[in-house]
């Protein structure tokens, strides 16, 4: 396996860096005592990394024992930086050159500060033991955006449920916190100092020297820029970056991110536009004013849908039957791993190719075009339906930004008897409500509904207890329930006058949990259904064209023969002359999928190349055999990145 190796420059830097730590004890006894207390944290962070691996070993399949040891060793580089940053105030207070630092009260204050600060760091690590399976990355600072408005209300309301479901994580965190507090008390304290003028000067110099060394350790050396998430790619291949890092490091480093730092790869825009052109031309034929209804299904991975996963799981009998009457794409991919990333990609063609979701980023108020805004200008009425508590994920605010006329959430539904106790209104009831509201909406309309029941904690309505059988995964029974709810919606909608004149687009906001080696891997982790259904039409078949969520906007407009130019990063699946691919981002790494090749772009270069038509588990790197494809994938990745960054920074996504 390639990638688990350290280049010579980094190896020397890491060795000198770690050897420098013990030398601190030679300065004086107080520095030695400080070093002993801080060094207690290194094995605890290593233990967290082992736990992280144990909880998520399916994702890190193929990592042998020897290579796991290398990851643990390289992880010291990032752990030491994290420990210094978290404990910088503690270090400064510990080294203060004054006699009161030897008093019992001061020592107690330092012990409590040490315990509180480091318990927070351990909490972040422990939370990712289970949260990683949903996001496939270490938690970043955008998690703090969930502490405001309706999002914050959801967080605190759902916290008891998470604690109940993952109580063992809380036990692990408490045990690790107790361990570091006990170890702290058992490490020797510094010997008292005979304070005089000379000693004050000496202790002041020691403090300054140690703080300076601490800054160097935090920065990861004397290089121009402090180490960040992207530096993990210097040690391991991108798949193992989450294992190499730790969660507090990931959070603190992304807190420093104020915006996208633009990269300029092309000075000739014409050359770049040959690879990606987000400015789409108007159609000259007659505009077909069909209704358009987008259904975003929570966590509906391709894995769960028997008609397209090749495994006939039986989880989605209704969706399987609908696929037989629809145009479905078997090589379809999500552009993110969270709902807050998926919805903008689906309805507005806006991916989150950076460390923060578009909705919560500093660019969240950019002017954008979406299916709602573009079609509203052509006389469509527009509406967004989501049964969650109003404010959840900022969807109501985004709906306004995207140009929807009306937002219907839990508040508008106004019947708490159908509240699931977690996220919002049960799918069956809310989809029935959606159908009724659509029946009142003027035609033509563009509307979107986002389901929610197939989300952790995966509840089932009490009236259906025992009806939907359990599966290997906890989500399986709720996938079956949501498929049933979708069937009830279509049965009701078929009786309504707008149904036969409506183009339905069904997809997932992102993939769900998996214990399957393929669907937990790089390809399967983003594999979703994208389905186009127009009742009674010839829009049918199984299509292997590569597509992604951001292709939905141009595909719908192309099918309608939309009469005006518009902005979209993706391409229409109905345009056979266009380039068809998928592009994703996670933890500093971009992934390009095209022509059955998959390649990752990180640190300004393509890091690997696989031909997955014959190698679905990506075991054989074929860069040497396909150098021209490596060059093409690199140029394409750079064009996509530069186009995205320039348009989002300069507010030109419309």
Residues 532-554: what's their mean pLDDT?
Answer: 97
pLDDT band for position 468 (cuts 50, 70, 90): very high
Which distant-in-sequence residues (6+ apart) come within 8 Å of 495 by Cβ? none
Tokens of 359: 């909705």
Measure the CA–CA gap between 622 and 597, rounded to whole angstroms: 10
Q: What angle do CA 13, 17, 22 make, to 5 degrees?
A: 155
Judged against a pLDDT cut of 80, whether residue 274 lies above it is answered with yes
More confident residue, 432 or 98: 432
**What sign does the CA torsion over 246, 634, 135, 316 have?**
negative
Mean pLDDT of 640-652: 89
Q: What is the pTM of this model?
A: 0.76
Low-confidence winner among 278-287, 460-469, 627-636 (lowest mean pLDDT): 278-287
pLDDT in tens, 26-79: 445 788 888 899 999 999 999 999 999 999 888 887 788 888 898 999 999 999
Higher pLDDT, 102 or 172: 172
Band (pLDDT 50/70/90 cuts) for residue 404 is very high
What is the pLDDT at residue 148? 43
Give the CA angle between residues 580, 586, 591 to the nearest 5°.
30
- pLDDT, greater one: 640 or 20: 640
3-class SS letters over 253-289: HHHCCCCCCCCCCCCCHHHHHCCCCCEECCCCCCCCC
Q: Give mean pLDDT, residues 525-552.
A: 96
Cis? peptide before 444, omega within 30° of 0: yes
Q: How far apart are CA 71 and CA 282, in angstroms?
A: 52
Burial class (CB in 10 A: 0-12, 13-18, 19+), 610: buried
pLDDT of residue 14: 52
Task: For 288-325, give the secondary structure using H, E and C.
Answer: CCCEEEEEEECCCCHHHCHHHHCCCCCCCHHHHHHHCC
Max Cα–Cα distance, the chain, nearest Å: 94
- Which residue segments constitute the domains of the chain, with CATH numbers given? 8-255 (no CATH), 297-574 (3.40.720.10)
User: Tens digits of per-residue pLDDT, 19-37?
Assistant: 444 444 444 578 888 889 9
pLDDT, tens digit, 9 for 90 and up, residues 600-628 = 998 788 889 999 999 988 999 999 999 99
Phi/psi of residue 541, nearest 5 degrees: 125, 165
**289-328 burial, b if ≥16 CB within 10 A, otherwise e?**
ebbbbbbbbbbbbbbbbbbbbeeebebbebbbebbeebbb
Pick 530 or 522 by higher pLDDT.
530
Model pLDDT, residue 257: 57
Q: What percent of the chain has pLDDT over 90?
A: 59
3-state secondary structure 151-195: HHHHHHHHHHHHHHHCHHHHHHHHHHHHHHHHHHHHCCCCCCCCC
CA angle 578, 645, 591 (to 5 degrees): 60
- What pLDDT is attached to residue 334? 96
**Given this model, what pLDDT does residue 129 score?**
93
Over 70: is that where the pLDDT of 10 sits?
A: no
Q: How far apart, in whole angstroms, are the C-alpha atoms of residue 419 and residue 399?
A: 22
Average pLDDT of the residues of the chain: 87
- Specify the pLDDT at position 147: 44
Query: Rounded CA gap, 400 and 134, in Å?
Result: 27
Q: What is the pLDDT of residue 611?
A: 96
* Rounded Cα–Cα distance for residues 98 and 192 (Å): 11
pLDDT at 81: 93
Query: What is the C-alpha radius of gyration for the chain, rounded to an integer number of angstroms?
Result: 27
Read off the pLDDT of each residue in 250-267 and give the average, rounded to a whole number: 79
The DSSP element (H or E) to which 44 belongs, if any, is helix 41-55
pLDDT score for 1: 37
List the structure tokens of 645.
Answer: 């960054």
Higher pLDDT, 158 or 101: 101
Q: What is the pLDDT of residue 152?
A: 45
DSSP assignment letter at 233? G
Coil/strand/helix, residue 643 = helix
The 3 state secondary structure assigned to 539-603 is: CCEEEEEEEEHHHHHHHHHHHHCCCCCEECCCCCCCCCCCCCCEEEEECCEEEEEECCEEEEEEC
Give me the count of residues in the chain.
Answer: 654
Coil/strand/helix, residue 618: coil
What's the mean pLDDT in 292-309?
Answer: 95
Q: 151-201, pLDDT tens digit by residue?
A: 445 556 666 777 788 899 999 999 999 999 999 988 877 777 788 888 889
Block residue for tokens 């789409």: 280
Which of 420, 343, 342, 358 shows the shortest CA–CA distance to 387?
420
Q: Residue 384's pLDDT is what?
A: 97
Phi-psi map region of 506: left, alpha, beta (phi>0 left; psi -120 to 50 alpha): beta
């Amino acid at each position: 396996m390639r990638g688990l190796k350290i280049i010579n420059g980094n190896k020397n830097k890491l060795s000198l860096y770690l050897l420098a730590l013990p030398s601190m004890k030679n300065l004086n006894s107080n520095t030695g005592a400080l070093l002993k207390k801080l060094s207690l944290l290194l094995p605890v962070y290593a233990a967290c990394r082992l736990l992280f691996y144990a909880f998520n070993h399916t994702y890190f399949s193929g990592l042998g024992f020897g290579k796991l040891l290398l990851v643990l060793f390289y992880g010291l580089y990032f752990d030491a930086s994290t420990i210094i940053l978290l404990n910088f105030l503690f270090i400064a207070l510990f080294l203060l050159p004054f006699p009161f630092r030897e008093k019992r009260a001061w020592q107690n204050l330092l012990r409590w500060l040490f315990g509180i600060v480091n318990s927070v760091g351990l909490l972040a690590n422990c939370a990712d033991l289970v949260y990683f399976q949903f996001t496939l990355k270490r938690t970043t600072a955008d998690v703090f955006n969930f502490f405001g408005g309706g999002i914050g209300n959801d967080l605190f309301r759902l916290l008891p449920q998470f604690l109940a479901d993952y109580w063992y994580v809380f036990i692990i965190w408490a045990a690790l916190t107790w361990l570091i507090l006990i170890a702290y008390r058992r490490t020797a304290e510094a010997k008292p100092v005979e304070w005089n003028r000379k000693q004050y000067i000496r202790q002041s110099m020691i403090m300054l020297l140690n703080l300076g060394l601490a800054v160097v350790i935090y920065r990861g050396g004397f290089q121009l820029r402090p180490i960040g998430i992207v530096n993990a790619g210097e040690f391991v291949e991108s798949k193992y970056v989450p294992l190499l890092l730790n969660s507090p490091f990931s959070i603190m480093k992304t807190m420093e991110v104020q915006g996208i730092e633009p990269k300029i790869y092309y000075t000739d825009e014409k050359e770049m536009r040959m690879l990606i052109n987000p400015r789409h031309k108007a159609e000259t034929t007659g505009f077909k004013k069909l209704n358009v209804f987008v259904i975003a299904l929570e966590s509906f991975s391709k894995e769960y849908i028997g008609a397209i996963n090749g495994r006939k799981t039986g989880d989605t009998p209704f969706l399987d039957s609908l696929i037989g009457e629809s145009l479905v794409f078997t090589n379809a991919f999500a552009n993110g791993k969270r709902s807050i990333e998926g919805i903008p990609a689906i309805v507005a063609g806006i991916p989150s190719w950076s460390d923060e979701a578009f909705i919560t980023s500093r660019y969240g108020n950019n002017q954008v075009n979406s299916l709602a805004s573009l079609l509203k200008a052509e006389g469509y009425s527009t509406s967004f339906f989501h049964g969650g508590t109003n404010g959840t994920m900022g969807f109501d605010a985004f709906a306004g930004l995207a140009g929807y006329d009306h937002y219907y959430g839990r508040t508008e539904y106004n019947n708490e008897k159908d509240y699931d106790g977690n996220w919002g209104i049960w799918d069956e009831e809310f989809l029935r409500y959606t159908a009724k509201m659509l029946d009142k909406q003027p035609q033509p309309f563009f509307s979107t509904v986002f389901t929610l029941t197939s989300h952790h904690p995966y509840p089932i309505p009490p009236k259906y207890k025992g009806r939907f059988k359990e599966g290997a995964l906890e989500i399986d029974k709720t996938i079956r329930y949501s498929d049933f709810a979708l069937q009830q919606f279509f049965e009701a909608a078929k009786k309504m006058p707008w149904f036969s004149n409506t183009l339905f687009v069904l997809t997932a906001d992102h993939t769900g949990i998996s214990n399957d080696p393929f669907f937990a891997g790089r390809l399967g982790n983003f594999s979703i259904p994208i389905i186009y259904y127009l009742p009674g039409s010839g829009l049918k078949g199984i299509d292997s064209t590569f597509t992604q969520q951001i292709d939905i906007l141009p595909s719908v407009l192309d099918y309608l023969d939309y009469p005006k130019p518009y902005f979209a990063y993706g391409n229409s699946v109905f345009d056979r002359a266009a380039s068809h691919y998928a592009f994703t981002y996670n933890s500093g790494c971009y992934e390009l999928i095209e022509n059955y090749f998959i390649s990752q772009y990180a640190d300004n270069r393509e890091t690997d190349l696989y031909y997955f038509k014959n190698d679905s588990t990506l075991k054989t790197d074929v860069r040497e055999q396909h150098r021209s494809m490596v060059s093409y994938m690199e140029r394409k990745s750079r064009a996509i990145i530069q186009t995205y960054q320039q348009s989002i920074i300069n507010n030109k996504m419309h």
